Each structure stands twice: as structure tokens, then as C-alpha cells.
Amino acid sequence: MNTENHSQTATFLWSIADLLRGDFKQSQYGRIILPFTLLRRMECVLEPTKDAVISQSCAQEGRPDLVREKLLLRAAGQQFFNASPLSLGTLSDTQTSEDLLSYVQSFSTDGREIFEHFYFEDFVQQLASADLLYQVVQRFAAVDLSPERISNFGMGIIFEELIRKFAESSNETAGEHFTPRDIVHLTTSLVITGQDDKLKPSSIVTIYDPTAGTGGFLSEGDEYIQSISEQVTVSLHGQELNPESYAICKADMLIKGQKVENIKLGNTLSDDQLARGKFDFMLSNPPFGVEWKKVQKRITDEHSEKGFAGRFGPGLPRVSDGSLLFLLHLTSKMRDPREGGSRIGIILNGSPLFTGGAGSGESEIRRYLLQNDLVEAIIALPTDMFYNTGIATYVWVLSNHKAAARKGKVQLVDGTQHYSKMRKSLGSKRQFITDEQIDDLVRLYGRFEQTAQSKIFPIAAFGYRRITVERPLRLSFQTTPQRIERVLEEKAMQKLDDDARLRLLSALQSMDAGIVHRNREQFAKVLKKALAGHGISLSTAEQKAVMNALGERDPEADICMTKGQPEADSGLRDNENVPLGESIYHYFEREVKPHVPDAWIDESKRDAQDGEVGIVGFEIPFNRHFYVFQPPRPLEDIDRDLKACTDRIKQMIEALSA
């Protein structure tokens, strides 16, 4: 059965939704069409062994469930069975819902679980209430979805088409669980292209998606590998948080003949249910900018207790965006390079490229990825590509088994102009990438050449050292009424009794308010003498409070010294990012000293990893590398346009007043 016929079958199955108009919302159609399609396919697959399973079921009555299930699975010759004598075609027209639910309950555990996550029983009752259930059942019973007519692979394509229609019909939430097919195809092509060594005949290849959604990446990965290789077994693994998306994904795997126990339900970050897995290819589109506060304790505990033995050793990003946690999670599942290594394709927004300065969790994660030479390429996508957001997005391609030419380098590809306008928007998705444009981007990546759209950088190009530049504190002191008022407002002064406060006030007022003292040490002596003359003895904290209130920054004043060393002015403190590999001292002499001769580097601020002066940071300023300066238009042209505009407005006003 060819692809065109698959598409026709999918269109026919979706057309059954015409029965639902008026009684159900359009966004609910998929929740009915998908489980019924799955049910009919499972029924057709089990047809040849149905009698054997029923007779085995009767023979095994009363035996433990686990033993019975194993024997019935063997009788069915599939990964699932149904022990009911009923079928869609034989359901009663008078008690359809009771018969149908009894039929579904007779499936093996995996089959039953999928229908539970579809909330199938609820929709069956709603269909029955609307007097539509029997009609819907009859329509599906009439569709031939037998394996003789449609292979597992073909059925997968049909199911994928139905998922796509469902996502598009409910596009207000689709983006959370469904990645557009063009983006899936591009990411998969980038990751799997040129991997002939892994795709030799009789080899077994594993694909993993930690945010599996409805299984789009897993299906596309399988389809892509089958289309470019022969006799390769593809094993699909995934985990998904949303129960309904999980049910769709698991159903898709069941239809394809995949092991459904490799598809897990739960939060990947806090409860990794494939913890020991290592995979050849990993594909993911994690949620953009989603906070991880709900699972913060579990993740923080893993980071602090397990370190690099866990998934999050390099660092933790801010709690408002967990994208980089998924990236670390994936790198922890890479195969040993001696066993062929792994490749990752993950879609992220712009934030992971540059958010967080030197020493932050984000920067340390980038540092780990780059210094371990895991980042192979980053491809910028056009905007308006997803159902639920129009923001800029990027495909990161990572590998721990880079080709020799790529070692120590990162390729940035500008694909922002590779798009075509959609005839009709789907939510925020207004643009798509054609197959030709996908091929062009994959070639740009594959050629690994320096062009206007493809830039190649050594890893060090993204690193820098953040040095702290200090300047000396310079204060002048004066006992003006305003400054004396500030002294009395200081918190340390609030604890003095009224008598002490009056004597302090008298002492300060006795000093010459007209003299500006530009040396802190000298002023401290003058102050001490005045206080002693009024019988006042202050604690160290109180003395400090008085000096703070009476002092103001003054560039003409002498430098304030502490233990023979200049004291730094925190208000003038600054940071400089020195490119990695350049001497911080040469940079300082060239870029800082000529402008602020009295500045110095705070050498106590050192990097935790290498112990050198300055904190190491990494960022990938993608747009800066592709920015092309557009000179402003000549002033004469702007003046001419403005004059033409004002002339037009004048004419319009004259026409109105005429």
C-alpha cells in the first residue's frame, strides 16, 4: 500500500468525525478517532489467533493473572491480546457502551492502560448520551486495517497523519506535546545523516526522546532510518509527562510493533525511568522556558549528592527555565565513544545560548558541553515555526564521536531565511520549511565550510574570563547640617540614649562646617579629638556609622587606605570579559589602564576549576556572528521622503477644507 493510499485511509478515518459535529468540539475529535483507530487495528492484527486466545483463556480461568497473561500473549503471537469473543462488528445496538467497555477491559495490561489514558470510558459514555456510539462503532468496524493490507510501518504513517490532524485541530495546546513535522524531519535528518557506520545491515539502533509527546521524533527517526538503510532494527525509547500524549505515543509504538515497555509515563527530570539506558540517537523538543520548581528538590539533591556521577554535575540553571537540564539529561545517556558514541538533536530557544554570566549554572553547563567537545553545530531556525510560540529557536546537534575535521570546533548555521509562508496559519505557526529547504540546510551543515550562512569557530572563541576591576575609594568629609542630620539617622545611632545623642550633636556642630577634609585618616583624628572634648566614646560600629554619614565620594580626595593598601570603592567596581587565551594583564594594560590609571585587578576572584585569576564563562552570541551592518540612508533621501509626506498631508487637509 503506497503513501498516497495511507493518506487516503487517514483522511477517511478522520472523516468519521463528521458524525461528531455539533455534539463535540473540534478539539475533541482526535480523542475519539485515535483510540477507535487503535482499537480497530488491534482487532484486525489479532483476528488470525482470536479463537486460539479465547480457548486458551477458558482453559486458564482461575490461574494467577501474571501466568494467564503470559500464556495468552503466547497464544496471540503478539505483544498484546484480547480475550473477549466480541468485536466492533458484533457489538449489540442496544447495549453498545456496556459491550464496548467489556471488550476493551479484555485486553492485556498494556492495551488496557492505553485506553485508560485516553479517558476512553468517558468519551464512550458521551457518545452513548449523544446517541452516536453505535454509528461510530459501525463506521470503524467497516474499515479494513488488517496487516495483510497495511503493514506496521504503513499503519504508523496513518496514525501519525491522524495525530497531526488532531494537533492542528486543537492547536491552542498542540505545541506543548506535538512538534511540527517539518521541524521533526529537519532535526532527524541533521542527526542521522552521514551515520552509515551505525546503520550497517543486521545492526540494532536505539533512538530516545525524553520529552516524547505523541512520539513524532521516534516515528520520524524510525521512518528515516528505514528509508536509507536495509535490515536495520530500530528500537524506540521515550518518556512523556502528559498522560494523553503518552497514550498516543504508546499506541503508535504498539501499532508499529515496537516494545511498548520502552515508553514510560512520568517526569523525566525528577523520575528518569530509563536511568540505565544509553542510546545511539537522541531527539528532543523540550518545553521552552518552563520552570522546574515542582521538582527542584529532587534535582538539587541529585546535583549535590551525585555530582558528575549523576545527570546534573556541571551545574543547575535558574529555576525559571529547565531547558538545559534536558540537555544535560541527554548527554548523560551518550554511549561510550569506543562503542560508537551518540548523537543528539535538541530544539531550544535562544536563552540557553547566552543566559547567565560567568560562574552561573547556565555558563557552567555551556562550559562543560564545549570544553568536552560535545557541541557539533547549532542551526538557527526561522521564527513562527511552532504551534504555540513565534520566538526564535535553534537546533543543537551534539556528538561525543565527532569526525576528525570537526574536533575542537563548533559550526553555526543561519537557517533563518529557509522558510515558506503557510497558506493558513495554525496557531502561532505561520511558516514551514519545505523538503528542498531541509535538504539545503542539511547540506550546509554536512559540507562544514565557512560561508555567509555557515561559520566555524574554535571552542575557545566562546569562552572568556570575567575579571573584577577595582578603583580606589576617595572620600571627602564635612560637618554640614545635612550630613550631621544623616549621622543621627544611621541605625547604629538609634541605640544611643537622648543625652549621648545631644552630646554627639554638640561635638559635631563644634567642628568647622566650612572645612572640606580630603584625607580620611586626618579627618578621623580631627573627629576623635572633637568627640573626646565632649566626653563621647563610640564603639567601632558607631564610629564607622559617623564616618559613613559625614563622607561623600570626591574624585579630588586622597585615596582611602586600609592596612597600607588602597580600599576599593564598591560603587566603581566593574567587570571586564577577557577572551579566553588572552593574557588578562595584557588586556587590562591595553583596554582599562589608559582610561582609569588608578584601577587594579582583584586577584582574589579566581575560577573554581582552574584556580586562575578571573571567573571563566561561556556564551554563544549567535546573532552577533551573523550580523551584517546596514548603513543608514543618506540624510537627503530621508529629507526628500519627509517633504513628500508633509506635502501629501497638506494636500489632504486642503481637500478637506475646500
Nearest-CA neighbor of 73 among 65, 81, 63? 81
Residue 551 CA: distances (Å) to CA of 477, 480, 523, 555? 5, 11, 10, 13
> Is residue 204's pLDDT more than 90?
yes
pLDDT band at 236 (very low <50, low <70, confident <90, very high): very high
- Rounded to an integer, the average pLDDT of 128-139 is 93
- Mean of the per-residue pLDDT values of the chain: 90
The per-residue pLDDT for range 465-481, each reduced to its tens digit, is 999 999 999 999 999 99
d(CA 42, CA 87): 11
Q: For 406-447, how does the pLDDT look when each residue is reduced to its tens digit (9 = 90+)? A: 999 999 999 999 888 888 777 778 888 999 999 999 999 999
Query: Does the structure show a pLDDT above 90 at 239?
Result: yes
pLDDT value of position 4: 60
Q: Average pLDDT of 106-132?
A: 91
**Residue 84 to residue 304: CA distance in whole angstroms:** 52
pLDDT of amino acid 100? 94
Burial class (CB in 10 A: 0-12, 13-18, 19+), 452: exposed
Note the pLDDT of residue 166.
81
Of 582, 358, 550, 556, nearest to 474 by C-alpha is: 556
For the cut 60, the answer to whether the pLDDT of residue 172 exceeds it is: no
Listed ranges 332-336, 535-539, 622-626, 631-635; the one with the highest mean pLDDT = 332-336
The dotted CATH code for 170-449 is: 3.40.50.150
> 188-205: buried (b, 16+ CB within 10 Å) or exposed (e) per residue?
bbbbbbebeebbeeeeeb
Q: Give pLDDT, residue 62.
A: 73
Which tens digits make up the pLDDT trace of 509-551?
999 989 999 999 999 999 999 999 888 888 888 899 999 999 9
Rounded CA separation 489/470 (Å): 30
Cα 224–229–234 angle (5° rounding)?
65
> Do 233 and 205 meet the contact criterion of CB atoms below 8 Å apart?
yes
In 534-591, which residue ranges form alpha helices assigned H by DSSP? 540-550, 584-591
> How far out from the chain centre does Cα 437 lie?
24
Half-sphere exposure of 351 (CA within 13 A, CB side): 17
CB–CB of 458/412 below 8 Å?
no
Give the residue with greater pLDDT, 628 vs 358: 358
Going from N- to C-terminal start, the domains of the chain cover 1-146, 170-449, 475-566
DSSP state of 567: P
More confident residue, 306 or 656: 306
Read off the pTM. 0.83
CB 524 within 8 A of CB 547: yes
- CB-based contacts of 230: which residues, under 8 Å, 6+ apart? 201
Q: Compute the average pLDDT of residues 563-567.
A: 91
